[in-house]
Amino acid sequence: MYALTIENLYKTYNNNVHALNGISLKIEEGDFFALLGPNGAGKSTLINIICSLVVKTSGLVRIFDTDIDVNFSKAKSYIGIVSQEFNFSPFEKVIDIIINQAGYYGIRKKTTLQRAEKYLKMLDLWNKRDSVAGYLSGGMKRRLMIVRALIHQPKLLILDEPTAGVDIELRRGLWQFLRDINQDGITVILTTHYLEEAENLCRNIAIIDQGKIIEHTSMRDMLKKLDKQTFILESENKLPDNLSLEAYAVRRMDNYSLEIDLHRHDHINKVFDLLSQQNIIITDIRNKSNRLEELFVHLTTKN
Ligand code: ADP
Ligand code: MG
């Protein structure tokens, strides 16, 4: 069963911004999934449509077995959402925010308090339960949003940039918490612009750019791709027709240029030694970046 099915989703805002341009995506139940993309890519728009906070222009969204257009409240009951923006009253107490949320779902007070205690303790907020939410630090506010999102025991937890503004130490704690609840069977989808976050947590990822999915793969395969870099080398003299460099993946592109794939831990001087032995003199070397790597450089340096 898919936790989320999206087909041909479009969103054009009133100001004529085309935020989503035909998104199709399926996410398996039990998955830990990252939606990666630069600022303005459309991540929040997508998440907010799934949670019915934003109205789509066209397309289909199904949560487990329920189309949001057919039974909006049933679809919504499956989801816990942690938005990018803090959206609770800063004047209310932590525990009251959680109790009020549980009230929307008609959960009994006793059950609410049991669950609240469990999650507040797990997220190190228990001693803040009677504090006014506005006085919490950014990281605490984010964790309060997580407790609130989990109070009705959703099968799918969606977090929009959960660790933005959370310091490294706390981030690791939060990651462990998310791993634990995923282990317990909750499907987790998060958006992030930190590759490291996706790398640490997620089994599958999609990269979104300008409202389109440009890559949808397993984290493992993505890392394999990132581990490899291709260089273009120019030779001063004509390259031999049957060029080979031991175990290195080398391709003769024309009489004077070759491409070689190197892994992160390869010694590049070994390559030059082998070339020298064949009397090949290299005058230029450059990195052949592919779109994906460029995007990642962009993603990881921008923030
Ligand atoms: P991301 O979360 O990936 O940074 P968003 O979904 O927030 O991207 O934004 C996608 C695009 O839609 C951006 O160009 C943004 O300016 C625009 N946008 C987002 N929300 C609104 C809105 N409420 N009204 C108009 N344009 C919006
Ligand atoms: Mg966003």
Q: Residue 118: how many CA atoms within 13 Å on its side-chain side? A: 11
Residue burial 169-201, b: 16+ Cβ < 10 Å; e: rest: ebbeebeebbeebbeeebbbbbbbbbbebbebb
Segment 271-284, tens digit of pLDDT: 899 999 999 999 99
Whether 299 shows a pLDDT value over 60: the answer reads no
Decide if 22 contacts 210 (C-beta within 8 A): no
Whether 264 shows a pLDDT value over 80: the answer reads no
More confident residue, 261 or 29: 29
**In percent, how much of the chain has pLDDT > 90?**
71
Q: Whose CA is nearest to atom 13 of ligand 1?
A: 40
- Write down the pLDDT at residue 227: 74
Q: Whose CA is nearest to atom 5 of ligand 1?
A: 42
Q: Which of 224, 221, 166 is nearest to 194 (CA)?
A: 166
More confident residue, 262 or 292: 262
Mean pLDDT of 138-146: 94
The neighbour count for residue 251, using CB atoms within 10 Å, is 12
How is residue 259 written in tokens?
């491409």
State how far the alpha carbon of 80 is from the alpha carbons of 76, 84, 155, 257, 265, in Å.
8, 13, 8, 54, 42
Ligand with minimal distance to 46 CA: 1
Q: Which of 43, 10, 19 is nearest to 299 (CA)?
A: 43
Whether 294 shows a pLDDT value over 70: the answer reads no
Ligand 1 pocket, residue 37 CB under 6 Å: yes
More confident residue, 219 or 149: 149
Whether 178 shows a pLDDT value over 50: the answer reads yes
Q: Whose CA is nearest to atom 7 of ligand 1?
A: 44
Name the residue type at position 165.
G
- Residue 270 Cα to ligand 1 midpoint, Å, equals 48
CA triple 83-16-301, angle to 5 deg: 50
Kind of pairing between the strands at 204-209 and 18-28: unpaired
**In percent, how much of the chain has pLDDT > 70?**
95
Ligand with minimal distance to 159 CA: 2
- Residue 208 Cα to ligand 1 midpoint, Å, equals 13
Kind of pairing between the strands at 228-235 and 66-67: unpaired
Query: In terms of residues, how long is the chain?
Result: 303
Q: Of 127-131, 242-246, 253-257, give the lowest mean pLDDT range.
A: 242-246
The pTM of the full predicted model, rounded to 2 decimals, is 0.81
Q: Whose CA is nearest to atom 14 of ligand 1?
A: 40
- Write down the pLDDT at residue 303: 41
Mean pLDDT of 93-108: 96
Segment 43-93, tens digit of pLDDT: 999 999 999 999 999 999 999 999 999 999 999 999 999 999 999 999 999
Confidence of residue 262 (pLDDT cuts 50, 70, 90): confident
Q: Whose CA is nearest to atom 19 of ligand 1?
A: 45
Mean pLDDT of 92-100: 97
Ligand 1 pocket, residue 13 CB under 6 Å: yes
Kind of pairing between the strands at 2-12 and 58-63: antiparallel
Name the residue type at position 23.
I
DSSP 40: T
Instruction: Specify the ligand 1 atom closest to the Cα of 208.
Output: 3
Rounded to whole angstroms, the Cα distance separating 55 from 288 reads: 41
Tell me the backbone φ, ψ of residue 48, rounded to 5 degrees. Answer: -70, -30
* Greatest mean pLDDT among 106-120, 168-182, 212-226: 106-120
Mean pLDDT of 114-133: 96
Whether 292 shows a pLDDT value over 70: the answer reads no
- Write down the pLDDT at residue 106: 93
Ligand with minimal distance to 302 CA: 1
The mean pLDDT of the chain is: 90
Ligand 1 pocket, residue 134 CB under 6 Å: no
Q: Report the sign of the C-alpha dihedral through residues 32, 33, 34, 40, in that order.
A: negative
Ligand 1 pocket, residue 42 CB under 6 Å: yes
Confidence of residue 23 (pLDDT cuts 50, 70, 90): very high
Mutation probe of ligand 1 site: the residue of 9, 10, 11, 13 with most atoms within 8 A of C-beta: 13
Ligand with minimal distance to 16 CA: 1
Mean pLDDT of 292-299: 55
Q: Which of 91, 101, 105 is nearest to 134 (CA)?
A: 91
Decide if 150 contacts 80 (C-beta within 8 A): yes
- Write down the pLDDT at residue 302: 45
Residue burial 51-67, b: 16+ Cβ < 10 Å; e: rest: bbebebeebebbbbebe
- Write down the pLDDT at residue 131: 97
